[in-house]
Amino acid sequence: MAEEWKGVFEKIDDYRWLLPKKEGMRVPGLIYTNEKMLQHLRMDRTPVQVANVAYLPGIVDKSMAMPDIHWGYGFPIGGVAGMDVASGGVISPGGVGYDINCGVRLLRTNLKEKDVRPKLHDLISALFVAIPSGVGSKGRIKISTQEVMEVLEKGSQWAIKKGYGLAEDALHTEEKGSMEGADATKVGQRALERGRPQLGTLGAGNHFLEIQIVEEIYDEEIARVFDIFPGQITVMIHTGSRGLGYQICDDYLRVMGNAVRKYNISLPDRQLACAPVKSEEGQNYLKAMKCAANYAWANRQCIMHWTRETFERVLKVGPKDLGMVLIYDVAHNIAKIEDHLVEGKKRTLCIHRKGATRAFPVGHPDVPEDYKGVGQPVIIPGTMGSASYVLVGTERAMQETWGSTCHGAGRVMSRTKALHMIRGEQLQRELGEKGIVIRAKGYKTLAEEAPSAYKDVNEVVDVCHNAGISKKVARMRPIGVMKG
């Protein structure tokens, strides 16, 4: 474990705090936060991780952290860093995380609360049956190892081709649900074995499926483009690449440990193990990471398909009346090769976003055609009982954060501490009294993921909005939650 942060925080403005360069740091650190959340960081070790990332070869501008920053493996969760590929910039599995492409998709419907509330218990129970969840859960999809490799290279496109959803779903998915350059031969046998039975499963931890009501609209023009209106029922799906992504990360951390010695890379923390992007080790990890990202998109695509089917069956509505359309799907844990301006010159960077969301602005070529006039949707999940948000990317994010923003609330309490302090049964009762129906595999998960274990998502989003690195569009509140 790293030592407590003993450096200074230089205030730039109310939402930006600089960690000045010290010996070994190639660039300064920058944390997006406010005075209140900064007090917690003063007693935390995560600023040390922000500083440690600044030691990595090829890093440009700053080692950044979003307001939902908390302790992670190597990089902090909430960490963003850009490495210049041409000048020996590195790629680090710790800068992506174990749950590669843990991400979230938001679905809109034509429904209002009155259409859902009378059958909410039935709906949550039916979803609980239709979508396998929990630690090590196995899915409904039976495929061979050879087919798993096809999923890894085609992502959402594989799922749609097999009948799990509609062709247009891919248009509103980051990378259209399939990263080019994924190579399943770079994925180990153990990862393939773990991935084969888990496609179409929610998993456990902070993963969830949530039925929500649109509570407030901040920008009516953009909300209209996304087809969001007050009182509307939305559905949010939050999960990742399951055991397959975890195994790929684990396998390549060993590879990178050897690469650090091979390329004589000096690191302040061995969890930052890395290799130059252009190296064989760097390229192999990138190809395997893309496979895990594609698996996660296929996973969320299958879950969305069963969600549509379940709503139609329980509520006895047809697809047209239901109107369940994907607004957008974003990755939270990923590395991307992107072109950005560095000191006025276009450079090819490896952008690590770990617990951070891509937030591209109006007109960006990677924004879906029908959203180009407003910018890329940014989906920010809250916690059980707290709000979730839709934002959009901004030009300022492109200038300051490589087009990145926060990804959620961010933990302030470890799972172990939460288990000691919170009773799952009591939490379920309390949320039930607020009209929130919850189904989970066990009370342990509920305790670990209690709202009090997280920062206030409203504050986190306000920091990003006020700092100008994303812009608020709508807020939703949960009425039904399915947890692993």
Per-chain mean pLDDT for the chain: 95
Q: Is the pLDDT of residue 391 over 90?
A: yes
Mean pLDDT over 341-361 rounds to 97
pLDDT recorded at residue 6: 75
Find tokens 């509140």 and name the residue. Answer: 477
Sign, Cα dihedral of 182, 183, 186, 188: positive
Domains located in the chain, CATH noted: 10-98+336-356 (no CATH), 103-144+166-174+200-241+298-328+367-483 (3.90.1860.10)
Q: Is the pLDDT of residue 37 over 60?
A: yes
Mean pLDDT over 241-249 rounds to 98
pLDDT band of 2, cuts 50, 70, 90 = very low
Q: Is the pLDDT of residue 328 over 90?
A: yes
What percent of the chain shows pLDDT beyond 90?
86
Q: Tell me which of 316-325, 415-424, 458-467 is least confident.
A: 415-424
pLDDT recorded at residue 1: 43
pTM of the model: 0.97
pLDDT digits 0-9 by tens, 86-144 = 999 999 999 999 999 999 999 999 999 999 999 999 999 999 999 988 788 788 899 99
Q: What is the dihedral angle through the alpha carbons of 287, 293, 295, 296, rounded to the nearest 10 degrees?
A: 170
Q: With beta carbons less than 8 A apart as the criterion, state whether 267 and 95 touch.
A: no
Phi–psi pair at 70, nearest 5 degrees? -155, 175
Task: Fill in the amino acid letter for 131.
Answer: I
Q: Where are the beta strands (DSSP E) in 137-179?
A: none
Q: With beta carbons less than 8 A apart as the criterion, state whether 178 and 298 touch.
A: no
What percent of the chain shows pLDDT beyond 70?
99
pLDDT recorded at residue 484: 76
Give the three-class secondary structure for 411.
Answer: strand
Mean pLDDT over 273-296 rounds to 98
pLDDT recorded at residue 12: 98
pLDDT recorded at residue 139: 82
Mean pLDDT over 52-62 rounds to 98
CA distances from residue 419 to 62, 347, 349, 411, 443 in whole angstroms, order as listed: 36, 46, 41, 14, 10
Q: Is the pLDDT of residue 4 over 70?
A: no
Number of DSSP helices (H) and strands (E) in the chain, helices first? 16, 19
Give the three-class secondary structure for 467.
Answer: helix
DSSP string, 261-292: HHTT---SSGGG--EETTSHHHHHHHHHHHHH
Residue bearing the bigger pLDDT, 317 or 418: 317
> How many angstroms separate the CA atoms of 275 and 289, rounded?
14
pLDDT recorded at residue 45: 86
**Catalytic member of 70, 207, 352, 407:** 407
Mean pLDDT over 429-452 rounds to 89
pLDDT recorded at residue 470: 98
Mean pLDDT over 280-306 rounds to 98
Mean pLDDT over 304-314 rounds to 98
Which neighbouring-strand residues pair with 31?
Answer: 17, 65
Q: With beta carbons less than 8 A apart as the criterion, state whether 427 and 450 touch.
A: yes
Give the three-class secondary structure for 249.
Answer: helix
**Catalytic-residue membership of 121:** no
Residue 239 is encoded by which pair of tokens?
């999960």
pLDDT recorded at residue 3: 58
Residue bearing the bigger pLDDT, 441 or 431: 431
> How many angstroms separate the CA atoms of 319 and 210, rounded?
20
Q: With beta carbons less than 8 A apart as the criterion, state whether 327 and 390 touch.
A: yes
pLDDT digits 0-9 by tens, 166-198 = 999 999 999 999 999 999 999 999 999 999 999
pLDDT digits 0-9 by tens, 464-479 = 999 999 999 999 999 9
Mean pLDDT over 302-328 rounds to 98
